[in-house]
Chain A
């Protein structure tokens, strides 16, 4: 999305200092026994003081409330700690983080896992927090450890992740007598029937490119498997290869059918949702974050359902996209002790259960000891990721590939969706870019 100039800054400092003053007063009055405060401090092992500066990109209403809630609860546990929270618009943060980390580093900052961390790790702007990961309690986070690891060290902690898959109009499928597809053939057969009924199979908005990356991720992981996909993203395979061409050939079958809505280059993903709501399109390939706006638009659980992207080659193990959002400690943090304590607090099982439930983020907890909220999509997603994704879990096109490659790549994918005949030119361009980007 276009970087907006909007910046929301909110400081909770005053409130917390006020609270600590209050506590001090209360204690001095003798109304609260010293033992209670002592027990509180003991429970958390250490007494944190000073200021903890947090820069967050959780600016959408629900995530913002989650962030503020976490700060409040962490502040209650550590009454002597001043917490300053700065919330920046999520899209704007993607361009601002560079300046913030190098000029005025906070103690804790939001970012994304995998290769998206690479520029800041290489520039020495993120702190190596492998010692946090050595805690016994961190074993519950084993599934996401790989995504937080670069060069054999861990550079942050995850706080949430979510599944990708096909969200479809259950009522339309029932009306046309369709079943959730298990194979690519069934998927295409379903699509043909939907097209015959005068609807489009999939809505998509490629104005900001990345949505096309989701389609490529799935088609490529289903056609060539997780390992090939990961290697391609890491620059170990050529784009102009028979494997990648096969992926595009599969994609082309859908394009030639006219499976996607027209004019998708004009829409953002939000603008592509009305087609699903109105029933002009029957499904969307998207992350679980699409559920909230779709529900708000009136699609209840009888109308909206979810299925895993079907297999294309039966010999290839299913693998999924499950992007992970993270917290990091900048290298220039002034209060790393408090920052580490905050990170431990974020990933703790109770906090994970709380912040990821349907009333809050509505996503999946990263801690294995947490419980998943009783929500149809979350349960299905959790089930899929924990038991039906033997191939592996990828982050996402623009998080697995280096940023520059992702940009050139997704632009090529968008062009392919509009002009599939340009494939040769596109692949040549991607290889040329890859040569420059990975050879560095």
Chain B
């Protein structure tokens, strides 16, 4: 059979192949990326986009988690302060009971109760980053308005919730009325105002009624704190879990997108060798001709 030997054409094909492999390896080493386009590995491309979307969602939940944690910490702080103040009210009320208490002491106790009432009002009306914490979803309204000894709840019974992971949310505002009044007939501020008056009047029955109401407010606040604490612990746990999930997704993404540098450098060396070999092969083969021997 007649064999036609064309070292240039056959060699060029080998050079192009080696050159292409060299360029790919060089590009991977330089960029650190395994994928240069969807055509390199369609499935990896598809999965990498999915992993990035997962990472995006996890990051969004982490940000929401941090934001919610800040708000819950603020609410926690306020509620803790309220329990202290309610305890102080109970102490003041109890110390003003009995016939042995002097009018001066009663007046001082009444003044303290009124002072604590104002402080509790300030607590309930506290805000975080411009939003009221205890007005339900009416975060732009002062929760309790004071109009000459009458306190009116301006919030609502709804709460603002933030999604902290898929299908799970946490309340970042509080229905203030549930704490301040609950199922009682009067709100805490009216109760405290009446208690101060009862102390001044040495009205033991009224003082006891007031102290009972304060006790219920204390319990409601403690319940709210307990619920809040559970949410905060969940957020801590979730933050840790989100971080773990993100690391796992990031590892998967990196496996899909990024190049193994050691492997890429090895491939670059191999491609370089192949390229040189192809050039040398063409150079050697091209010199072979019968013409050189027929002189």
The answer to whether A and B belong to the same complex is no
